[in-house]
Structures are given as C-alpha cells and as structure tokens.
Amino acid sequence: MSRVRAVHQFVPVLYPHDAVGGHTLAVQALLHELGYESEIFVEATHPAYAGRTRPYLDYGTGRGNGGGPGDLLLLHVASGTVQADFLNRRSEPLVVDYHNITPSSFFEPWELGAAHVQSWGRAQLVTLARRAVFGVADSGFNEVELRQVGFGATAVAPILVDPGGFAGEVDAGVGERLAAERSGAEWLFVGRVAPNKCQHDVVAAFALYRRLYDPGARLRLVGGPSAQAYWDAVAGYVAALGLEGAVELAGSVPEGAKAAYFANADVFVCLSEHEGFCVPLLEAWWWGVPVVAFAAAAVPETLGGAGVLLGDKSPARVAAAVDRVVRDARVRAGLVAAGRERLAGEFALERSRARFTAAIEQAIEAAA
C-alpha cells in the first residue's frame, strides 16, 4: 500500500466522560503529534463534540473526508456497530482497537435488546478478524479474545487515560452531603449498573459487613443503568434487605460529583465478573482509595497486585477483606501506595502512549 498519511478513527458515539471516548480523543492527539492526519467518524454526534466528529457515512466522499490509498482505519470495538459492516465493505487497511464486548449471556435474562447488541458485536468481531490487518487490545485478556476469533497480528496497549484528568474539581455540595451522612465505613463502586458488574454481589457483601463489622457503614453505587430490569432488581434487593438508608444508587453523576464520591470513599469494592480493563480501578488509585476486587476477566491484570484480589466473592470473604482494609491502617497505607505506584508506572500516560505508538507502527507495518 501507499505510505500511510492518515489514521482515521471510527467509534459509534464519542461520549464525554467515557473511557473509550477519552481514549479516542487521546489517540487522535497522539496521531497528530506523530504527523498523521486523523479524523473521528461516528454514527451519531454528541452535542459536546459537535464539530469535532464527522458522520461515518461521509468517509471517502471527498471534501476532506479521507478515503483511498494512504489511509489506515482504526475501528474501536466495544459492541455491535453498523460501522463494522461499513468498514468491511471498504478496501483501506483496517485496524481494530478492542475494548471488549461483554458476553451476551450476562444480559439475556435481563434485557434481550442489550444481549442482541453484544452477540451481534461478537459475530462482527469474527468477520473483522478476516478483514483487519492488526488488532490492538487494552489488556492481555482482550488480546486472547482477539486471538481466539482469528486475529493473526495483535498487540496490547492500555487504554489512554490521563490520571491527571481524574483531578477534576470536587462538587462541594455533594462532598458536604456525603460528609454529613457519614456514620461508618464508606464503600464505593463506580460503573454502569449492569449484570456483568454484579452490583447485587456488592450489596450482599455490604449487608453482611454491616451485620458483622460496622452497622453504620454506607455503600455508594455510582453509574447509570445498562439494563433497567437489573437496576430495578438491585433496588428491590436493597429494599428487601432494609438497606434503603444505607445504600445509595446514585445513577450517572457529573464528574465533580464522582470526584466527591471517590474523595469520600474508604474502600472501592469491585465484584464484576467481566471487565475488559476497568478504568475505575485507576481512579480509585488516584484518589488514594484502597481496592478490594474479585479476580475475573481483566481485573487481575489491571490490578497487578495493587489491591486485595479475591478468588471467590462469598459475602463473608468480601466483608472480611473490606474490614481488614478499612480497619488496618498499615494494610490500607500499603494498598494506597501500591495503587499510586502502579498508576505512576504501568499506567503512566507517557508509557501508555509509547505502547500505543508501537502498536500503531506494527499495524502500519502489517498493512504494508
């Protein structure tokens, strides 16, 4: 092929305050620094990014919309997308940046529509394996999935997250409310309320923790619903346990409020059964919040020893782990230090940028 002059990105929607959205923007900045033209093509434009993205159907139509020799296309995959079908029909070399697709089995009992989108995405990934010249994965876990569906050439490059970006202004109002409500240990989990993230397991462990260790503890679940039926079930479970006053289903919150939740937390508890990377672990480290997590999917790889990693998530074991982390100042300090070290080392932005640059260079070589 011709020398690569442009690396254009395709992502269904570029959302603000979203891991893939932030990564896409960071990749664009990196590509510009490397001397490549780079536009972001989307299915729908979010108002926050009006003027910064282009409709994907405009790609290759002239008027500066790319297309043809010299282009390398980078598709971000986290679910089914019509962009995959569109790009499969084009001839420019294609690279997949895989952020993981949650297995549809998690959603099937709860929301058939969401399950369909996930299984559609998995089926598309198989066809993309034949079409793409290279696959980039956020984690080794994701890379294994790429290999399993037939990607021949792959590399791991962590999602581009600037830890400095976590330092947003704390919403003082939310912070004051949380401080006023404090009556014991403060548990936190941040992530979409979704069956694969298993917020109900966090609630179960929290219920036992209050009974055995700290009757004044509170749990904050921050994140909007991915499946309304699952949200309703978690809310019903909280009510049935008599924990309405102790568990807050905060929903999706602005960045300042999220910062306040992290600043207020004593422990971050992640009992998710499927994560392709898990960016909130990095946020917890940045805020100096120790992590207790269940060893599933990419979580052990991302955690890398900077947290208490549990091989099973029986409520009793989770509660005991949280108690130890909250009560034992030396354990807590050790975990916080390990998290900050990992954030400044393995996931330092410059390091991740260097790894992504190397992956792009490999992709360009594979396309040649």
Partner 1 sequence: MTAEQDTPAGDGEAPALDLDRLLAEIDEEVERRRASGELPAELERELDELFARFAPSTPGDNDLDAIVEQVERASFISAAVPVESGKPGASQIKRVLRKLMAWYMNHLAAQVTAMGGATARALRVVVARIDLLSNRVGNLEELVTDRSGAGLDAGGPAGEPDTGDVELLDAWADAVVEVLTDVDGRVLHADCADGRLVTRLLEVGLDAYGVDPRRDVVDPAAAGGLDVRSGTVLEHLGAVPEGALAAVVLSRSVDVLRRADQLRLVRAAAAALAPGGVLVVIGTAPEAWGRRRSPVEADLAPGRPLHPDTWSHLAAAAGFDPVEVRRRDTDHDLAVIPVDSDLSSALNANFARLAAAVFGADSHLVVARKPRS
Residues in touch with partner 1 (CB under 8 A) = 108-110, 112, 126, 129-130, 149-150, 200, 203-204, 207-208, 212, 229, 232-234, 236-237, 240-241, 305, 308-311, 314-317, 320-321, 323-324, 328, 330-331, 333-338
Beta bridge partners of 275: none
Least distance from partner 1 to the Cβ atom of residue 68, Å: 28
Least distance from partner 1 to the Cβ atom of residue 88, Å: 14
Nearer to partner 1, 17 or 324 (CB): 324
For 319, list phi and psi in degrees, rounded to 5: -60, -45
Nearer to partner 1, 36 or 231 (CB): 231
Q: Which two tokens stand for residue 17?
A: 């305050």
Least distance from partner 1 to the Cβ atom of residue 107, Å: 11
Ramachandran class of 197: left when φ > 0, alpha when ψ lies in -120 to 50, beta otherwise: alpha
Least distance from partner 1 to the Cβ atom of residue 44, Å: 22
Nearer to partner 1, 54 or 274 (CB): 274
Nearer to partner 1, 39 or 143 (CB): 143
Least distance from partner 1 to the Cβ atom of residue 25, Å: 30
Nearer to partner 1, 207 or 260 (CB): 207
Residue whose pair of structure tokens reads 């807590």 in the numeric block: 332
Nearer to partner 1, 131 or 182 (CB): 131
Q: What value does the CA radius of gyration of the chain take, rounded to a whole number of Å?
A: 21
Least distance from partner 1 to the Cβ atom of residue 152, Å: 9
